[in-house]
Amino acid sequence: MSLVAWNLVKELKQKVSQHYGYAMTVLKGLVKTDFKLRYQGSFLGIAWSVLEPLMLFCVMYLVFARFLRVSDGTSTYPVVLLLGICSWQFVTDSTNVGLRSIVDRGDLLRKIHFPDYIVVVSATVGALISYAINLVVVLVFALFSGVHFTWRVLLVPLSIIELYLITLGLTLLLATMYVYFRDVLHIWDVLMQVIFYGMPIIYPLTYVTARGGWLAKVARLELLNPFAQTIQDIRHNLIAPQTQPTIWSEFHSWWAKLIPLVIGALLLWLGVHVFRKNTRRFAEVI
């Protein structure tokens, strides 16, 4: 019986290798090329993948935490802020590069036959690599800040996978729309700012909920945003489970807790569906 099972696994592995082997080879090549070209010609090179979110963190921390006194009152707040900025930076990097990927790679898609989705996935994977580097920096800051890690760190990879899948679905959708409508780039630039300031990233959610009234209700509704839900989960599980509220603690109804998960799943499905439906027309439209 074990021999039969082993043969089935071997056969399945061969089929997967034959079907996706070429695509994986192209994906690796594109990721490596994009990562090199991204910082080509700059003096600091790959260091910018760390310096960019750090510089943004310094500005946000000085403005909101020091001057406006927006904080949760704990020593872990700077690390929580840095982690939130790095997580959102991954989303912006993925969508900004992935949105233009089909159009920018138009000549390559016409000359070499490989699945179009590879160029979009390569953009998100490249951003994921930068995100991984930033997470190492966050961990270093956390250690120096005296953060006490708990068993919840085991849940962080699940939240990162969720964030990646949601971002991939959105990027596939934006990349498809950009092929037909170039204005999508400018519209998305504005929407990114709206979404960023509409999430508890640069300000703690407890800072708003503590005020009570309708502001507290609106603040809790922010967690229904799948991006806010995943980023809060990452910060809660990795850095500060005592001070970072999540949708699991703020809502008692099971259906409310499922809303961001359902929205994220629908966004991923919609992105894949729309992209696959239009992929054959990309070459002629571009």
For each successive 10 residues of the chain (286 residues), what is the average pLDDT? Answer: 51 54 73 70 63 77 71 79 91 92 79 80 90 89 86 94 96 94 92 89 78 73 91 92 85 89 95 91 76
* Amino acid at position 280, single letter: R
* pLDDT value of position 226: 94
Cβ neighbours, 10 Å, residue 173: 22
* pLDDT value of position 42: 58
* pLDDT value of position 19: 54
Number of C-alpha atoms within 13 angstroms, CB side, residue 27? 16
* pLDDT value of position 1: 44
108: its two tokens: 């390559």
Alpha helices (H) along the chain = 2-38, 48-60, 77-104, 106-111, 117-144, 156-180, 184-197, 205-209, 213-221, 226-238, 247-250, 254-278, 282-285
- In three-state secondary structure terms, 200 is coil
**Considering only CA atoms, which of 88, 50, 65 is closest in space to residue 232?**
88
219: its two tokens: 């603040």
**Considering only CA atoms, which of 134, 130, 108, 111 is closest in space to residue 119?**
108
Q: Rounded CA gap, 40 and 44, in Å? A: 9
* pLDDT value of position 163: 96
Q: Rounded CA gap, 167 and 161, in Å? A: 10
Burial (0-12, 13-18, 19+ Cβ within 10 Å), 234: buried
153: its two tokens: 């760190």
* pLDDT value of position 57: 79
Whose structure tokens read 């995100």? 131
Longest dimension (CA), the chain: 69
* First CA to last CA distance, the chain: 53
Q: Rounded CA gap, 219 and 209, in Å? A: 6
Report how far apart, in Å, the C-alpha atoms of 10 and of each of 6, 14, 19, 23 are: 6, 6, 14, 20
Q: Rounded CA gap, 271 and 42, in Å? A: 34
User: The dihedral of CA 149, 150, 154, 156: what is its sign?
Assistant: negative
**Considering only CA atoms, which of 101, 162, 178 is closest in space to residue 128?**
162
Number of C-alpha atoms within 13 angstroms, CB side, residue 14? 6
